[in-house]
Amino acid sequence: MPQIAIIGGTGIYNPDSFEMIKEVFPDTPYGKPSDPIMIGKINGVEVAFLFRHGKQHQHPPSSVPYRANIYALWKMGCRYVISACAVGSLTEDFKPGDLVIADQFIDFTKKREYTYFMNETVHISMPDPCCPYLNRLFADTAKEMDVRYHLGGTYVCIEGPRFSSRAESHMFRQFGDIVGMTMVPEAQLCRELGMCYCSLATVTDYDCWKDEDVTIDIVVRTMNECLDKVLRLLELGLPKIGRSDCHCIDAAKGCGSLDRIR
The pLDDT value given to residue 113: 95
Beta bridge partner(s), residue 197? 81
Q: Give me the phi and psi of 230, to 5 degrees please.
A: -65, -40
Q: Where are the domains of the chain?
A: 4-261
Residues belonging to the active site: 205, 207
Residue 209 burial class via C-beta count within 10 angstroms: exposed 0-12, middle 13-18, buried 19 and up: buried
Per-residue DSSP letter, 36: P
Q: Which residues of the chain have pLDDT under 70?
A: 10-11
Does CATH number 3.30.56.10 belong to domain 4-261?
no
The pLDDT value given to residue 10: 61
Model pLDDT for residues 150-184, shown as the tens digit of each residue: 999 999 999 999 999 999 999 999 999 999 999 99
* Buried-exposed string 119-132: b where 16+ CB fall within 10 A, e elsewhere: eeeeebebeebbbb
CA separation for the pair 50, 136 (Å, rounded): 23
CA quadruple 127, 117, 197, 259: dihedral, nearest 10? 100
Outline where 39-164 has alpha helix (H): 66-75, 132-145
Model pLDDT for residues 237-252, shown as the tens digit of each residue: 999 999 888 999 999 9
